[in-house]
Structure 1
Amino acid sequence: MPASDYVTNLRAKVGHDLVMFPTVSAVVLNDRGEVLLGQRSDNHRWALIAGLIDPGEQPAEALVREVLEETAVQVKVERLAGIALHEVTYPNGDHCHMVNTWFRCRAIGGEARVNDAESIAVGWFALDDLPELTPFALQRIRTALDDGAPAWFAQPGESIDGVPPR
């Protein structure tokens, strides 16, 4: 997965030190109520479709772009489901805090397939037959499916994926 020019230029200045990035992820549902997942090429784990927001890009716009780029599925954003900070350290040592905004989306076109180098597989999964996912991915799915709830956010002092509260 090649980094964008923006990330490459930033990393040239800060090395592997901590950088915060705005990111988005999608809980995409089809007409059968299945959720769209991609198996990542970097760690081979199943995950929600996600990515960095490009400079000047609105979060919902970034989400629609990322889903199309990675899976060839066209989506309609239905609602904001949540926002939280989570920590990532990549195999090359890059340390990141990702401020992730996730949305519930509906598939409106396209056929799910691997559409770039970020995934080795893409598929639709019944909610009662999901592959192994991180607790953070499961949290995003749960909150996206809860129609009656407002957008979820971490409460002051609450930890997500090991990011210590301040």
Structure 2
Amino acid sequence: MANYIQEIRALVGHKPIILNTAAGILVNDQQQVLLNLRTDTHNWSLPGGYLEYGETYAEACVREYQEDSGFQVRIIDQIGIFDRGEAVYPNGDVAQTISALYLVEPVGGEALEHSTNETLKLDYFDFDKLPPLLNQQTADMLAAAHDYLEK
């Protein structure tokens, strides 16, 4: 169902709701993580986004990763589920997000070289030198990914 979240928002307005999201961790040869600068909040996040109705977390991760970064990815492993998080958007929408995080690898496509309606730009960052992030849940996911990769 296209525009599922818009349909829900039309019914509930800015009332806090619970939404499911999926994101991916892609690291380069220097063990830096790829992040995208968001158009809505102008801070950095993991490529990913909300599930559409009927979609699995894994399917959403692959779809959203390509939309946000340009990369077609394959899921290597699930890192975790993160259920403590709230997103507050500039338009007043509030959502508790339940997020599945996956380690991914590129299998096609290429990094976006232009801005889109969701991504201003992409860049790789060291885990210990991260830019301003979307929210605490994003920070928690990055910390968990760093621990996972250090094993």
User: Using the alignment, how far apart are the partners of 2:115 and 2:74 within structure 1?
Assistant: 19
Select the structure that is richer in helix. Answer: 2
User: Using the alignment, how far apart are the partners of 1:88 and 1:135 within structure 2?
Assistant: 9
Indicate the structure (1 or 2) with the bigger Cα radius of gyration.
1
- Residue deviations 1:53-104 (CA, integer Å, cap 9, x gap): 1111111111011111111112221111121221122222222111111111
Unaligned runs of 5+ in 2: none
* Corresponding letter in the other structure for 2:90: P
Aligned partner of 2:96 in structure 1 is 97
SS at match of 2:8: helix
SS at match of 1:91: coil
Shift of 1:11: 1.3
- Per the alignment, do residues 108 and 34 of structure 1 end up closer, same or farther by CA in structure 2, a change over 3 Å counting? farther
User: Using the alignment, how far apart are the partners of 1:34 and 1:110 within structure 2?
Assistant: 19
**Structure 2 length normalisation: TM-score?**
0.84
Shift of 1:131: 2.1
Aligned partner of 2:108 in structure 1 is 109
User: Using the alignment, how far apart are the partners of 1:78 and 1:115 within structure 2?
Assistant: 27
User: Using the alignment, how far apart are the partners of 1:41 and 1:126 within structure 2?
Assistant: 22
1:21 partnered with 2:16? no
- Per the alignment, do residues 33 and 20 of structure 1 end up closer, same or farther by CA in structure 2, a change over 3 Å counting? same
- Aligned positions of 1:21-40 closer than 5 A: 21-40=19-38
Q: Contact 1:72–1:115 at 8 Å: present in 2 too?
A: no
Q: Contact 2:23–2:47 at 8 Å: present in 1 too?
A: yes
**Structure 1 length normalisation: TM-score?**
0.77
User: Using the alignment, how far apart are the partners of 2:132 and 2:5 within structure 1?
Assistant: 29
- What is the aligned counterpart of 2:81 among 80, 83, 95? 83
User: Using the alignment, how far apart are the partners of 1:130 and 1:10 within structure 2?
Assistant: 33
Q: Contact 2:82–2:141 at 8 Å: present in 1 too?
A: no
Unaligned runs of 5+ in 1: 150-166
Cα RMSD of the aligned pairs, angstroms, is: 2.1
The number of aligned residues is: 146
- Residue deviations 1:8-55 (CA, integer Å, cap 9, x gap): 211111111121111111111233322110001112111111200111
Shift of 1:135: 3.9
Shift of 1:143: 1.3
User: Using the alignment, how far apart are the partners of 1:9 and 1:92 within structure 2?
Assistant: 16
User: Using the alignment, how far apart are the partners of 1:5 and 1:138 within structure 2?
Assistant: 28
Shift of 1:148: 8.2
Q: Contact 1:87–1:97 at 8 Å: present in 2 too?
A: yes
Deviates more, 1:123-132 or 1:112-121: 123-132
Identity among equivalent pairs (%): 34
